[in-house]
Amino acid sequence: DAGVIQSPRHEVTEMGQEVTLRCKPISGHDYLFWYRQTMMRGLELLIYFNNNVPIDDSGMPEDRFSAKMPNASFSTLKIQPSEPRDSAVYFCASRAGTGNYGYTFGSGTRLTVV
Amino acid sequence: GENVEQHPSTLSVQEGDSAVIKCTYSDSASNYFPWYKQELGKGPQLIIDIRSNVGEKKDQRIAVTLNKTAKHFSLHITETQPEDSAVYFCAASRGTYKYIFGTGTRLKVLA
């Protein structure tokens, strides 16, 4: 298995622009998580899905952030409009609903908003 | 709210020595405690985990201990090697798939 695949690896954008981050979870995993990592706040859970349905989006910072999972093999995290304080590494992770409870993380997208 | 404190934030050890990282959690209903290793430019990787019905678990040079009464758990790495250098995160979960992560420990193994 190729693991959790995220794209792009790096994104530099200007303030006010729309940014879309993409994630392909491991096949068969029915939970998908979006995390944000910064030096100040560490790893923060933004939202997670079960069977493509959003379960908990309480970590989404504000209405500028939205996430979708149109099918079991694809999810997006969108920021519109982007702001410099959104600069961070965004991770997607997935796990199966049964078996051990560990997540598998992707390699992340480093977002820089200038 | 729920919180996981992790110490120390940085740790330097000589190659071959042991390293210990400690975490304390606030939610007494937590029942699953994973540890992740994050190398530069990569996502966190699960290295070991423990459930609340077990006091200790070992996997080669890595071990985790859990004290439910005191609400703390620790990661022990023996015979450290340069490739153990990374950032380590602890986490706690009450089995709802939502983790509360610690703030991370940057481990440096000096050759």
What pLDDT shows up at residue B74? 98
Q: Taking CB atoms and an 8 Å cut-off, how many pairs form between chains A and B?
A: 46
Instruction: Please report the DSSP string for chain A in residue order.
Output: ----EEE-SEEEE-TT--EEEEEEPPTT--EEEEEEEETTTEEEEEEEEETTEEEE-TT--STTEEEEEEETTEEEEEESS--GGG-EEEEEEEE-SSS----EE---EEEEE-
What pLDDT shows up at residue A35? 96
Q: Is A4 within 8 Å of B43 when comparing Cβ atoms?
A: yes
Please give the Cα distance from B105 to A45 (Å, whole number).
19
Closest residue, chain B, to A59 (C-alpha): B98
Classified as helix, coil or strand, B96 is coil
CA distance A46 to chain B (A): 10
What pLDDT shows up at residue A40? 87
Q: Could you tell me the two tokens for A89? A: 């590494």
Q: For residue A38, what are the β-bridge partners?
A: A42
Q: What is the mean pLDDT of each run of 10 residues along chain A (114 residues)?
A: 92 97 95 93 93 94 94 97 97 82 91 98
> What's the pLDDT tens digit per position in A4-29?
999 999 999 999 999 999 999 999 99
Please give the Cα distance from B44 to B57 (Å, whole number).
20
Q: Is B34 within 8 Å of A102 when comparing Cβ atoms?
A: yes
What pLDDT shows up at residue A1? 66
What pLDDT shows up at residue B70? 94
Classified as helix, coil or strand, B87 is strand
Q: What is the pLDDT along chain B (111 residues), one digit of tens a residue?
A: 678 999 999 999 999 999 999 999 999 999 999 999 999 989 999 999 998 888 999 999 999 999 999 999 999 999 999 999 999 999 998 876 788 999 999 999 998
